[in-house]
Structure 1
Amino acid sequence: MDLILDYFQELDPVFAAFLATLFTWGLTALGASLVFLFKGMNRAFFDGMLGFTGGVMVAASFWSLLAPGIEMSPGEGFVKVIPALVGFGLGALFIFGLDKVLPHLHVNFKMSESEGIKTPWHKSVLLTLAITLHNIPEGLAVGVLFGGVSAGFEGASIGGAVALAMGIGLQNFPEGFAVAMPLRRQGLSRWKSFNYGQMSAIVEPIAAVLGAWAVMTFQPILPYALCFAAGAMIFVVVEEVVPEAQQGNFTDISTMGFIGGFMVMMTLDVGLG
């Protein structure tokens, strides 16, 4: 692990963010590739993994984003929390706006329950866009953190950035499968189902590069940017991930998955950060 941290420490931060999110994208593709091996998806397992995703995102929002963002903010008392309040609120509003505009459909929901602007797009596209919406703040978070490390801000560490990428990669694995398998059940070929599944994470390297570049170019925005990514992730968890995980008959399993995801991400961030 020390070799990995040393390697990322020596890279250009934008390139490091790009490589880290190529890893998260790769795990999405690996999850989607399970469509070549299995004919169906166990609902209990799926709900547990959705819960795990939510737990990772909530833990990452605090340990990797909010806490460092507050720590590096200037001032004392209520003044110190202003960047966190502003960034967190704007991040949530950003995803709220995308949620209202971007056409998408959550897994296990009917076509009549699709959200965003109404379009004639096929269900496969809407399912992919729903997971893509999850991945925008995740890629942004990784990029912002790598940019913060390069800028030398106290509270931002290469270990924390790598830990965040590892946690997001772990929860991306079931997300890829969650897109690919329903599409396979609808009659798409295994290859098309796989492609749709892995394409849902293509936005992560793009968002990461933009996040790292923005923080390096406009260094004073880092506390705001970290908390922006946190607000976006929390919005996704509450509005999208949790409702999906609670749709079936395995709510206890999804809840325990959430707890497990939180514990894994917390351990990674504290242990590496």
Structure 2
Amino acid sequence: GNAVAAGLMLAACYSLIVEGFAFSPLRTLAGVLGGVALILIANRWLKRHDGLSIANVQGADGAKVLLIVGIMTAHSAAEGVGVGVGYGGGRELGDFITIAIALHNVPEGLAIALIMVPRGATVARAALWSVISSLPQPLLAVPAFLFVLTFQPWLPVGLGLAAGAMLWMIFSELLPEASADISHEGLGAVVVVAFAAMLGVTLLF
């Protein structure tokens, strides 16, 4: 589960960074560094509050799940702004971006479920949190469209923030845990296949 989630999230990071670079490489990179800094701060705070629980997952696992849901929610927020900015460039572009992001939401939700269910969450609760993590998309798409000139300069920063936070989670939490369950060769194969599958969805849509 961790290996598949890592591959899916790695492809999502790649897509976020490429999209951000189309607006501003410098602001995207600043966002990536900011995302890593924010997730480090959040992780340290969560370690001091080990009684946290989410979807019946408690302790250290609960903290990890909370981090993942938070990261994917931030990711969805950036994508929501992207949808709104896209519609600012015309109906056809906005429709294209909306369909592409809607398709991406399926493997992204799967990544959350693959992390939550093995740690004790029910499938129903994992599905619910996957949906909740995507709520910022419609909530931010409308104001981003209405105030496109205000939101557009910050879009690459938001995309970078989400990518940086996810990259930290992949390399500091998911891959080390996955390496304890399967061989390095198997881990590499699963991550690459998941990455390629997610990237295929991105390229096709």
TM above 0.5: yes
| Alpha-carbon contact 2:51-2:58 (below 8 Å) kept | no
Task: Specify the structure having the higher radius of gyration (Cα).
Answer: 1
State yes or no: 1:246 paired with 2:184. Answer: no
Measured in 1, the distance between the counterparts of 2:194 and 2:178 equals 13
Higher deviation after alignment, 53-62 or 158-167: 158-167
**What's the counterpart of residue 70 of structure 1?**
21
Q: Tell me the matched-pair count.
A: 193
Measured in 2, the distance between the counterparts of 1:92 and 1:213 equals 28
SS in 1 for 2:130: coil
**C-alpha root-mean-square deviation of aligned residues, in Å?**
3.0
Higher helix proportion (structure 1 or 2) = 2
Equivalent positions of 1:60-209 (< 5 A) are 60-63=12-15, 65-73=16-24, 81-102=25-46, 116-121=47-52, 124-126=57-59, 127-141=61-75, 142-152=79-89, 158-173=95-110, 175-176=112-113, 178-183=115-120, 193-194=122-123, 196-201=125-130, 203-209=132-138
Task: Report the CA distance between 1:263 and its aligned residue.
Answer: 0.7
Measured in 2, the distance between the counterparts of 1:129 and 1:195 equals 20
Measured in 1, the distance between the counterparts of 2:31 and 2:94 equals 20
* TM-score computed with the length of structure 1 as normaliser: 0.59
SS in 2 for 1:205: coil
| Alpha-carbon contact 2:112-2:130 (below 8 Å) kept | no
Which segments of 5 or more consecutive residues in structure 2 lack a partner in the other structure? none
Which segments of 5 or more consecutive residues in structure 1 lack a partner in the other structure? 1-48, 74-80, 103-115, 184-191
| Alpha-carbon contact 1:132-1:203 (below 8 Å) kept | no
State yes or no: 1:225 paired with 2:158. Answer: yes
Segments of 4+ moved more than 6 angstroms: none
Measured in 2, the distance between the counterparts of 1:213 and 1:143 equals 8
Once the two structures are superposed, residues 133-174 of structure 1 have per-residue CA deviations (whole angstroms, 9 ceiling, x without a partner) of 213332333323323323339xx8654554344344225336
Q: Provide closer, same or farther for how the CA distance between residues 223 and 177 of structure 1 changes in structure 2, counting only shifts above 3 A.
A: closer
Equivalent positions of 1:250-261 (< 5 A) are 250-261=183-194
Identity %: 19
